[in-house]
């Protein structure tokens, strides 16, 4: 596919002067240290091709992108009964808002805002010690990415544990409403470690491929979820994957996607491929500024938008 | 396409015992009079085929579905500058909530909640008397549906004018923030009349076809919007088209759609076709109960979900 | 009482250099025209003495202070059943917020925020044409002040009618919840006229004297309300009389009081007297800046705080 | 004062058939065990008289009433700069709401809602180990009550520590906004122990006497605060002392007061005396149901309302 490689190269060339734009997340001390002048992008297609550009081989903190993998695990564990614990609607508020939790009695609006992901962590933790649950996630991500070298960055996890007061507030609030089964410290232990997953664009694009390919990794042949479940996770990514910028992302890019404050975005072109992009500078709603621009350019040039070509 | 007709017939047969489910909207007196035991559905494909079942020929009050047509008109009139007047994010609150307006200083979250549609009406009204703006909308809908028999039900419009206090509140509130250029009575005159558009599933499916066909009606050849704009309107329908049930609709159906409290839903399968369904009984978030079920069945049986087959 | 006159004179002398501080209300065009460099103050005691200083004889728009008189009228009309229509709790939000109304289904938190006063206007309007209700209020105020020269400033009333979109929003919102019995235009007609009452400090202090004197005007001997009702109105003034600055006013001044955006404040020292102060410049929460300071000085020098000497 | 004793006896006789009304707080397991059929009341006057009735000698968990004493300590420690950490306005929401904290960026509305009291605990904790801060409070309460037998009920403190997830949420949320200087566990250690103070009506009425007597205990002659500060604490009790029922309490009783979910209320009649009442059953907003009724009867029969006789 010289085409796709050419498109990636073109995007990279055009964006080069802007690399460094946006504001690196500073509320997690370890993330604040990241050099903003980095940009990488990888496309993995359902046909098994992989195209990359820029810093696509450098591992970064995937942060909230991990919520996609945790959601997959939780659905695998308890199926649709998950939706008694967390909703499926966009929140209309920022990713770490607690207002909605009070209004809706401890049920987070969706699994991609912090509160929702904490509830999902509680589900994955069930029957496990925290260390085992983290191990299960790591094995899962290595399995879907077909890459045993993926790790969790303990310094990032520790950094979040020490400063994540707002997440402690969210977890305790849900606990007060009976929407956590495990001790807050255990649940957040899992939560902070999942956010600290360290992956490159190349690894991430491959890890997300099952969502583009009817639930199975077309490279390894591994079945991960049913086609129906893959569709549904994509739907959630489209409506809720970019916090309070989800509508905007759908409007400009038109692909299911999930962003992280580490500057990464995982996007899915159903039936076509999976795209990972990374650039640490964030826009006002906390999504990678250049990452979103790059995906908009990609969608425009490929006609991959789910909303029409 | 005997296939599509067979699928429609199958859906109708299966749903027949449930026709009448849900609760007819009662806050607009004229709508409360509608017989709940009705169900119709039409598919219009980009290839020019039209398939219907049940009460697809009976006109009903399309209500908020008209917001799609008004948005198209407003974008045609002032382009992307529309987004200074209204946002593009899901609201996270009910369709007629005023809380968000106060928090975000008179800028509605999206063009499909009531406040947003009122702002859009204000834009369409620009340079017109209210009667002319209503005329422009009617001409537009007749044009996209290629059907001169479409009308506005004055009794419904009058009924809403007399009881629509909440909409008066929303409009006055935006006026207070300087986000309405015209007198509240004029803007709501346009708004209430657009909601009172009376169309059958057959008319509505044809009217929405341009959104499935890169912006042009493939039957008449009429160009309505650019392909890019069609995609964007579809994106807004997917993220915001079902009020606070948009995430749920995306999860179960996977198609851009817009519902109305008259019990209609217009859905779009990009590149494939446009679907209108009508059944007056509403579910808890105000969307047609059987309409949503029928579309979920259709998407499952056709593989038309934008999130994968 | 040379004492009280000396205290007033002392306050005036000390505040003279600051006269003009604060920001004149500008959202009502007629009020924006008022010269900020004015200050007047009057004390009327239950013993019949009246002491004034500065511009105490100049009439100003009493605005929300009128809500005390309207509340008195409404309680006289329907008694404690008024509290089915409006609450008795501080709002925790700004005077014209609509958020609380949605959360609490159309029941305003107290009779001194705008929404609450509009509900009270609706009660006073009952059985009347708007013009008659306004006449009733004017007669009542003239009666309690024992002054037939008090008038309503029609230009102010008109100015508010033309720009009071937020009040139209509040009224329509309550109407939607069934908490207004009369047409919005009629209710707001009464509301805007009550706010346009034009009174001097001298008139206002006398008008409020019944609240300090167990419900009767000690000068005229006219009985207005029972001692119990006078206490209760005072309680409402203390907890809710300064919008979202009520706690601060109680903390610094310690007297029941009601402010208006015209820059006036009516305060009550139970068993002792009634105080009116006026200075057009407002502080951040919309209360007269120097008025509040003057009352704090007065309370400190007289020991009149209800919270101890 | 045979009068006051007779009034107390009369109230007790009248209320006897209703003792047991209301609902004992059940969210703290230890409190849920308390026998609801108890009622006690004590008046301590500035003249040194003490009158009691019913179970006035039985110690109960004073819970939030302790916030008055902690506020006194914190003001003594850092003076008016306390108001940078916490506001002075009624909240308009329930005592444990977190919504306001998000809207107002971690600054609680007043020192008597949970969040505010936690901030006050953080201030009192300054320069101390938690154990020392708790010791300081206990010494202070024993000093103002002139009673060395007052204790803290460790079982109650432990019970709250184990179930107080909402308070953990509030504290972590403030910490996230930089409005706590100490570790959450330390601050809540202090907070939960202050709430677990165990006092009888007799002890509590004496402890509150300084607020009625210009800041000094007239029995012991001990000076506690300045007259001005006593007034100001009274003002805060009146506007904010009964959570979202403060307006109602002012309306019906007309005295500064502070309630606790243990069923106690401390009320202050400035210049006259201090009243403690206890009955475990709570009304809908979380204040002692019979306690409030008893105080309304007392105020009516004595003319002690600060809003007039």
> Alpha-carbon distance C268 to A47, whole Å?
82
Instruction: Answer yes or no: are the C-beta atoms of B261 and B31 closer than 8 Å.
Output: yes
- Domain membership of residue D307 (yes or no) is no
Residues B230 and B121 grouped into a single domain: no
Pair of tokens at residue A253: 């890019």
Residues in D closer than 8 angstroms to A165, CB to CB, are 172-173, 175-176, 184
Determine which one of C52, C61, C64, C274 is catalytic. C64
Burial D58-76 (b: 16+ CB within 10 A, else e): bbbbbbbbbbbbbbbbbbe
CB C4 within 8 A of CB C260: no
Residues B292-302: tens digit of each pLDDT: 999 999 999 99
Catalytic-residue membership of C67: yes
pLDDT tens track for C195-219:
999 999 999 999 999 999 999 999 9
- In terms of residue numbers, what domain contains D57? 2-63+198-301
Average pLDDT value for chain D: 95
Closest CA relative to residue B284, chosen from B66, B21, B74, B35: B21
Nearest chain B residue to A257, by CA: B307
Instruction: Band the pLDDT of C2: cuts 50, 70, 90.
Output: low
Instruction: Kindly state the tokens that stand for D84.
Output: 């940078």
| Dihedral sign for Cα atoms in the order C74, C78, C82, C84 | negative
**Which one of B174, B195, B216 terminates a domain?**
B195
Residue D159 near residue D113, CB atoms below 8 Å:
no
Q: Measure CB to CB from residue B176 to each of C102, C169, C171 and give the nearest one.
A: C169
Q: Which of B162, B159, B170, B156 is nearest to B122 (CA)?
A: B170
| Closest partner CB to B235 (pick from A230, A254, A271) | A254
Is pLDDT above 80 for A12? yes
Residues A177 and A209 reside in one and the same domain? no
Strands (E), chain D: 40-45, 50-54, 60-61, 151-152, 197-199, 257-259, 264-269, 273-278
Best of B88, B250, B258 to disrupt the A interface by mutation (most A CBs within 10 Å)? B250
Least confident of A11-15, B103-107, D65-69, D303-307: B103-107
Alpha-carbon span A205 to A139, nearest angstrom = 17
Nearest CA in chain C to B164: C176
Same domain, D77 and D149: yes
Q: Can you give the pLDDT at residue A2?
A: 54
Please give, rounded to a whole number of angstroms, the shortest distance from the CA of D34 to a CA of chain C. 30
Report yes or no: C45 and C276 within 8 Å, Cβ to Cβ: no
Q: Determine, yes or no, domain membership for B307.
A: no
Same-domain pairing of B82 and B46: no
Q: Which of B195, B226, B254 is the last residue of a domain?
A: B195
In this structure, what are the phi and psi dihedrals at residue A248, rounded to the nearest 5 degrees? -65, -40
Rg of chain C taking only CA atoms, in angstroms:
18
Same domain, B83 and B150: yes
Indicate the pLDDT class of residue A170, thresholds 50, 70 and 90: very high
Of the residues A12, A200, A243, A259, only one is catalytic, namely: A243
User: Tokens 């059958």 belong to which residue?
Assistant: B200
Q: Chain B contact for A57, CB < 8 A?
A: no
Q: What is the largest CA-CA distance in chain C?
A: 55
Q: Which position has the higher pLDDT, C8 or B95?
A: C8
**Annotated catalytic residue: which of A46, A61, A67, A288?**
A67
Please report residues of D whose CB lies closer than 8 A to that of A170: 169
Q: C-chain residues within 8 Å CB-CB of D90?
A: 89-90, 92, 239, 246-247
Q: Does B184 touch chain C (CB under 8 A)?
A: yes
- Is the residue at D309 inside a domain? no
**B43: its two tokens:** 């598919």
Cα C118 from Cα C115, distance rounded (Å): 5
% of chain D with per-residue pLDDT over 70: 99
Same domain, A27 and A81: no
For A88, the closest of B93, B211, B248 (CB atoms) is B248
Give me the residues paired with residue C277 across strands: C41, C265
Of A58-67, A158-167, A258-267, C33-42, give the lowest mean pLDDT range: A158-167
Q: Is residue B269 part of a domain?
A: yes
Q: C218: burial class by Cβ within 10 Å (0-12, 13-18, 19+)? A: middle
Q: Residue D76 is encoded by which pair of tokens?
A: 């003594």
Catalytic, C206? Answer no
pLDDT at B95 (0 to 100): 83
Asked whether residue C309 is domain-assigned, the answer is: no
Task: State the chains in contact with C (3 or more Cβ–Cβ pairs under 8 Å).
Answer: B, D
User: What pLDDT is stored for residue B1 in this prediction?
Assistant: 45
Which is nearest to B66 in space by CA: B171, B179, B164, B199?
B199
DSSP reduced 3-state for D41: strand
Contacts B95 to A, Cβ<8 Å: none
Q: Are residues B102 and B170 in the same domain?
A: yes
Burial of D222 (0-12, 13-18, 19+ CB in 10 A): middle
Chain A, residues 78-107, CB within 8 A of chain B, namely: 87-93, 100
- Measured CA to CA, the distance from residue B13 to residue B54 in angstroms comes to 10
Same-domain pairing of A246 and A283: yes
Question: Of A152, A24, A166, A184, which is closest to residue A95 (Cα–Cα)?
Answer: A166
Give chains near A: 3+ CB pairs under 8 A.
Answer: B, D
Sign of CA dihedral C283, C289, C295, C297: positive
- What is residue D65's DSSP assignment? G
Q: 3-state DSSP call for residue A8?
A: helix
pLDDT-wise least confident of B28-32, B227-231, C84-88, D134-138: B28-32
Mean pLDDT value across residues D82-86: 98
- Model confidence at D27, pLDDT cuts 50, 70, 90, reads confident
Question: Which of A115, A212, A250, A304 would you mutate first to test chain B, the one with the most B CBs within 10 A?
Answer: A250
Average pLDDT over residues A225-240: 98
Residues D27 and D33 sit within 8 Å (Cβ to Cβ): no
For the residues A39-61, what does the mean pLDDT come to? 98
Residue A308 lies in a domain: no
* DSSP letter assigned to residue C244: G
According to the model, what pLDDT value does residue D30 have? 87
Residue D2 has pLDDT above 60, yes or no: no
Q: Is the pLDDT of residue C163 over 90?
A: no
Q: Helix (H, G, I), strand (E, B), or coil: what is residue C239? A: helix
Decide which of C84 and D92 is more confident.
Answer: C84
Model pLDDT, residue B34: 95
| Pairwise CB contact (< 8 Å): A98 & D102 | yes
Give residue-wise pLDDT tens across range B156-190.
Answer: 999 988 889 999 999 999 999 999 999 999 999 99
Which residue of chain B is at minimal alpha-carbon distance from A271? B308
- With both helix axes pointing from N to C terminus, report the angle between D114-125 and D130-145 in degrees, rounded to the nearest 10: 100
What is the average per-residue pLDDT within B1-13?
A: 90
Contact A249, A242 (CB under 8 A): yes
- pLDDT, mean of residues C169-196: 97
d(CA C70, CA C144): 12
% residues pLDDT > 90 (chain B)? 89
Give chain C's domain count: 2
Contact call for D248 and C89, based on CB within 8 A: yes
User: Is the confidence at residue C1, as pLDDT, over 50?
Assistant: no
For residue C179, give the nearest of C260, C103, C115 by alpha carbon: C115
Catalytic residues of B: 64, 67, 191, 243, 261
Same-domain check for residues B139 and B151: yes
Give the tokens for residue C118.
């509009």
- pLDDT of residue A1 exceeding 70, the answer is no
Question: What are chain B's partners, defined as 3 or more CB pairs within 8 angstroms?
Answer: A, C
Shared domain for C114 and C211, answered yes or no, is: no
8 Å CB contact of B184 and C176: no
Mark residue D45 as left, alpha or beta (left: phi above 0; alpha: psi -120 to 50; beta: remaining): beta
R_g of chain D, CA atoms, integer Å? 18
Mean pLDDT of C47-71: 98
Q: CB burial class (10 A; 0-12, 13-18, 19+) of residue A227?
A: middle
CB-nearest partner of B246 from A227, A239, A271: A239
For the segment B8-27, the average pLDDT, to the nearest whole number, is 95
D139 and D41 fall within a common domain: no
Q: Residues of chain C with pLDDT > 70: what percent?
A: 99
Q: Is the pLDDT of residue B96 over 90?
A: no
CATH (domain of D102)? 3.40.710.10
Beta bridge partners of D44: D50, D274
pLDDT of A291 above 70: yes
Q: Check CB contact under 8 Å for A97 and D102.
A: yes
Residues D47 and D152 grouped into a single domain: no
- Contact at CB, C172 and B168, closer than 8 angstroms: yes
**Alpha-carbon separation of residue C142 from A81, C90, C112, C203 (angstroms):** 68, 29, 21, 9
pLDDT over threshold 70, residue A18? yes
Residue A87 sits at φ, ψ, to 5 deg, of: -85, -175
Decide if A58 is inside a domain. yes
Return d(Cα C151, Cα C199) in angstroms, integer: 8
Partner residue facing B92 (CB), from A89, A250, A271: A89
The tens digit of pLDDT for each residue in D229-240 reads 999 999 999 999
Measured in degrees and rounded to the nearest 5, phi and psi for residue C215 equal 95, -5
Secondary structure in 3-state letters for chain B = CHHHHHHHHHHHHHHHHHCCCCECCCCCHHHHCCCCCCCEEEEEECCCCEEEEECCCCCEECHHHHHHHHHHHHHHHHHHHHHHCCCCCCCCCCCCCCHHHHHCCCCCCCCCCHHHHHHHHHHHHCCCCHHHHHHHHHHHHHHHHCCCCCEECHHHHHHHHHHCHHHHHHHHHHHHCCCCCCCHHHHHHHHHHHHCEEECHHHHHHHCHHHHCCCECCCCCCECCCHHHHHHHHHHHHHHCCHHHHHHHHHHCCCCEEECCCCEEEEEECCCEEEEEECCCECCCCCEHHHHHHHHHHHHHHCCCCCCC
What's the pLDDT score for residue D93? Answer: 84
Nearest-Cα residue of chain C relative to residue D233: C251
In a domain, A307, yes or no: no
B window 222-281, beta carbon within 8 A of C:
none
Q: Choose one of C195, C216, C251: the last residue of a domain.
A: C195
């Amino acid at each position: 596919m010289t085409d796709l490689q050419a498109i990636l190269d073109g995007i990279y060339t055009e964006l080069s002067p802007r690399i460094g734009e946006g504001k690196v997340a500073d509320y997690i001390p370890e993330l604040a240290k990241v050099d903003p002048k980095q940009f990488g992008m990888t496309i993995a297609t359902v046909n098994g091709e992989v195209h990359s550009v820029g810093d696509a081989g450098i591992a970064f903190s995937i942060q909230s992108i991990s919520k996609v993998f945790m959601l997959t695990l939780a659905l695998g564990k308890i199926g649709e009964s998950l939706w008694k614990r967390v909703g499926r609607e966009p929140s209309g508020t920022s990713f770490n808002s607690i207002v909605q939790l009070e209004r809706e009695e401890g049920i987070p609006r969706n699994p991609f805002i912090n509160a929702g992901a904490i509830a999902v962590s509680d589900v994955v933790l069930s029957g496990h010690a925290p260390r085992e649950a983290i191990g299960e996630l790591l094995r899962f991500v290595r399995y879907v990415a077909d890459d045993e070298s993926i790790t969790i960055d303990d310094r990032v996890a520790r950094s979040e544990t020490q400063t994540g007061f707002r997440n402690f507030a969210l977890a305790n609030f849900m606990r007060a409403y009976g929407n956590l089964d495990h001790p807050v410290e255990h649940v957040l232990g899992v939560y902070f470690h999942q956010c600290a997953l360290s992956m490159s664009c190349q690894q991430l694009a491959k890890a997300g491929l099952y969502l583009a390919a009817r639930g199975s990794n077309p490279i390894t042949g591994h079945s991960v979820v049913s086609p129906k479940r893959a569709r549904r996770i994509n739907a959630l990514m489209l409506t809720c994957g970019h916090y309070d910028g989800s509508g905007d992302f759908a409007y400009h890019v038109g692909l299911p996607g999930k962003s992280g404050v580490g500057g990464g975005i995982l996007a899915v072109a159903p039936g076509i491929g999976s795209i990972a992009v990374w650039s640490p500078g964030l826009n006002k709603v906390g999504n990678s500024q250049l990452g979103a621009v790059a995906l908009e350019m990609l969608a425009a040039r490929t006609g991959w938008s789910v909303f029409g070509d």
